[in-house]
Structures are given as C-alpha cells and as structure tokens.
Amino acid sequence: MKTPIPFYLQEILTKVRDNRDGAVADYIPELAKAEPEYLGAAMCTTTGHVYSAGDDEVEFTLQSLSKPFVYALALQELGLSAVRDIVGMEPSGEAFNELSLNRDDHRPVNPMINAGAIAVTQLINGVDSEPAARVERLRTYFSRLAGRDLLIDDAMRSSELEVSERNLSLAHMLRNYDIIQDEAHDAVSTYVEQCSIVVTVRDLAVMSATLANGGVQPVTGDKILDADVCRLTLSVMSSAGMYDGAGRWMAEVGIPAKSGVSGGLLGTLPGQLGVATFSPRLNKEGNSVRGVDAFKLLSKDMGLHLMSTDERYGVNPVRKVEQDAELTVIYLQGLINFNAAETILYELMESDFGEGTVVLELSHITGTNRMGRRMLKEGLRRIRESGFDIAIVDPDGELEDRTMSDGTKVPKGEPEDYAINGEPV
Ligand code: GLN
C-alpha cells in the first residue's frame, strides 16, 4: 500500500498555490533574492514518519524559526528560573522587531520577539562563552534536532549584519539594563548566525516533531530536551509564536506555531505531529501568506485544531463489563489518563458488584500516565476496602508498579483465572 499522506499535503498545496498576495521580505538584501514561487509542506509524526510535498528539498534560513528551539536549549541548560530572570512569558501583541522591554523590570516580554531572542541566545553555552563557541554549540544543537549536519548561510549572515541597526539598538537597550553581558555587536552577530542556519521544510517538520515528542528526536531517537522544557516552549509558542497575529492564529488554526521571515512556518501538535510549510511571500505581520492558508486548511481538513472539542474524548475507557454471581470483569481500553480514569472510577462508584471479585482487565489499553495509574490503583484499593477481592489482568505489564497507597500490591491474575460463562477473559 502507498500512504495517502503526501497526496493530502499536495492537495493542500494545490489549494493555496494561487494566492500570490504578500511580498518576499526585503529588509535583508539577501532574503529579497528568494524565489517567491517556492511552495512546500512536510509533516513528521512522533513515531518518526516523515511526509512531504512540493519544494521539499529547497533550503532556506531559519530566521525566527530558530527562536523557540534556542529558548528550549536555554531552559535545558539553565532551568526556568534563570531563563525567566532575563525574559518573560507573556504575549507582546507587537511586531517581532518591536523596541519593547517590560516597563518595571526591563526584561523582554517573551523569547519569540527579537529583544527576547537576542537575550536568550547569549545564555547559550554559558554567559561567558566566546561568540564563536556559542555559535558552534547552536549549530550542533540544530543539527541534532534536524538529524543531519546543518550549515550557516554566510551570505545571509553578512547581509543581515549590514542592516542590523534595529537589532543592535535592542542589544544596546538590553545591555543598558544588564539583561545581557555581551557586547551589543557580539550579541546580535551570534543571533544573526543562528537565524542564518539553513534547513528544508522536512528538517523543520522533524525539529518541530521533536518538541511534540517530549524532546526525543523521533527519527534518530536522540534525546535532546526534557519533556518539561518542551511543554514550556510550546506554551510560549502558542501565545506568542505568531506575534501580533497570535490570538487570531490560535482561534483560526489552533496549532502552536512559529514563523520566520524566510517564509518558513512550523506548527507543533503535542504528542502527535510536527508540521511545516515553506513559501516566501509574507503578510504584513511577517508570516508566510500561503503558509498561513495551508495551516488553516490542515487544521480544518485534518481536524488538528488543539482546542477542538469534536474528537477530544476519544474512546470510552470502559470497553465492556461482564458479570456473574461471584465475579465482575471490567474491560478497559484506550489511553488511561486522568480523564479516562475519572470515567472508570465514576462507573465503578455507580456499579453494583454483588459480591466476590472485581477484576480490571487491561489487555486492550494503549497506555497509561502517572495520574491514570494512581487513580486506578486507588479505585481498586477502595473496592477492596468495601469487602471485595480485587485483581488485574495485565499481560503487557502496563501497571508495572502495583503498590497501592496502603503499601500492599494489586494482585495480578491470568485471563484464564477469571472465566465468565466458561469463557476466559
Ligand atoms: N533575523 C530576522 C530578524 O531579526 C528574523 C526575523 C523573523 O524571522 N521574524 O529580523
């Protein structure tokens, strides 16, 4: 069988191709040379499957797409409190290059605007790092995220440095308030190098899927970031990734995202997917016109809106209940998280078990999280307290730690131990 996914992506590209609104960024002379017609899309699942369509091998510079990843690296290297000392987590509602710092403590409001990104970059590799060592640390980090060796576009880097008055003034402001220690020129130059790292739309999708996957690069299996770091990064991306368009973006598309003036756009669906598009013409907010269109379609057609309540509830975690005079077997299914466990416990509370033994049968569940496991065990303990025998059937060992809150263990049985009407469970 041939997978239909590249075909879906192609279909979306076909639908957005004719929109020639907007213009290629030209404030960096080298960026103005971009071919405006390029159009590509890619998707990477947290299981490491990569799909793409259109101009998926064309290379372009990261620009602001680098910002969430460098923020993540700073969180990984230094922890939240040190990073929060120099940059906030609030949406700015302003353009990416706004000359803005917090009124009271002079920190940049978030790491997605240039002021915040310049401040965050100078934390990497230790605040005392030489600029060259810092750049190399960034380049190797991005290479691990992409799963291949990435290079810096020298022409882009020097072109941007020549027109960096605005970013330099941000760096001077940051230095003035002791937010950064680097010389303003060094701070901007490091930041510009990070912006000039070259990727394809497929790289972007894989990098984004690494954030979706709790920091494990899903293709190489390389553990790059902690899950907590990814959660924080995605949170900030969701409120500030699209600059002054961030609120409308969340409403219309509902995928935490980040754009870059090169025309790249990446979106991350936690636990599911990294998505990326590439099309160089930008709208007035600096976001790719056809990229935004493509994300709207992706979100709608593929049902990817994070706030969608349509498909949120998944399967009923109670698959079926079988009972005879002495035995009640409750078959569970799907992912047992807080939500699922609540449904199960509610059902247990409402049930009339008669007497004898209550068994939770786990062979059809797809997984558990900590809270789900804790709640299941506590439910079982309480059932036992009210006079029943309890057990689980757990052939895959999903409930590895069977110790309950009173220190005793949930008894584990084999399917054949619990036959109802002569049928083993
Ligand atoms: N290097 C660019 C700048 O600082 C990045 C901006 C962006 O992609 N939004 O102006």
Q: How confident is the model at residue 423 (pLDDT cuts 50, 70, 90)?
A: low
Q: Helix, strand or coil for residue 198?
A: strand
Q: How does strand 60-61 pair with strand 198-199?
A: antiparallel
- Alpha carbon of 187 to ligand 1 centroid (Å): 14
pLDDT score of 342:
86
160 is in an annotated binding site: yes
Secondary structure element (H or E) that encloses residue 363, with its range:
strand 357-368
- The CATH fold assigned to 4-302 is Beta-lactamase (3.40.710)
191 is in an annotated binding site: yes
What backbone torsions phi and psi does residue 24 show, to the nearest 5 degrees?
A: -65, 140
Report pLDDT digits (tens) over 62-80: 999 999 999 999 999 999 9
pLDDT score of 312:
54
Q: How confident is the model at residue 310 (pLDDT cuts 50, 70, 90)?
A: low
Contact criterion met (CB below 8 Å) for 275 and 12: no
CA-closest candidate to residue 209, choices 43, 10, 41: 43
pLDDT score of 183:
96
Contact criterion met (CB below 8 Å) for 246 and 237: no
Dist. CA 315–CA 341, nearest whole Å: 12
Q: How confident is the model at residue 119 (pLDDT cuts 50, 70, 90)?
A: very high
- Of 48-57, 237-246, 255-264, 292-301, least confident by mean pLDDT is 237-246
* Percent of the chain residues topping a pLDDT of 70: 97
Which atom of ligand 1 is the closest one to the Cα of 243?
9
Tokens of 175: 């230095």
Q: How confident is the model at residue 340 (pLDDT cuts 50, 70, 90)?
A: confident
pTM comes to 0.86
Dist. CA 367–CA 312, nearest whole Å: 17
110 is in an annotated binding site: no
Ligand 1 pocket member 388 (CB < 6 A): no
- The CATH fold assigned to 318-424 is Transcription Regulator spoIIAA (3.30.750)
Q: Helix, strand or coil for residue 389?
A: strand
Ligand 1 pocket member 71 (CB < 6 A): no
Domain ranges of the chain: 4-302, 318-424
Ligand 1, atom 6, residue with closest C-alpha? 64
- In this predicted structure, the answer to whether residue 264 has a pLDDT above a threshold of 80 is yes
Ligand 1, atom 10, residue with closest C-alpha? 97
**Averaged pLDDT for residues 116-135:** 97
Secondary structure element (H or E) that encloses residue 123, with its range:
none
Same fold, 4-302 and 318-424: no
pLDDT score of 351:
82
| Best mutation site among 28, 199, 261, 282 for ligand 1 pocket (most ligand atoms within 8 Å of CB) | 261
pLDDT score of 424:
53
Whole-number Cα distances in Å, 306 to 254, 263, 355, 378, 380: 5, 23, 44, 31, 33
Tokens of 337: 């998280």
- In this predicted structure, the answer to whether residue 279 has a pLDDT above a threshold of 70 is yes
Which atom of ligand 1 is the closest one to the Cα of 96?
9
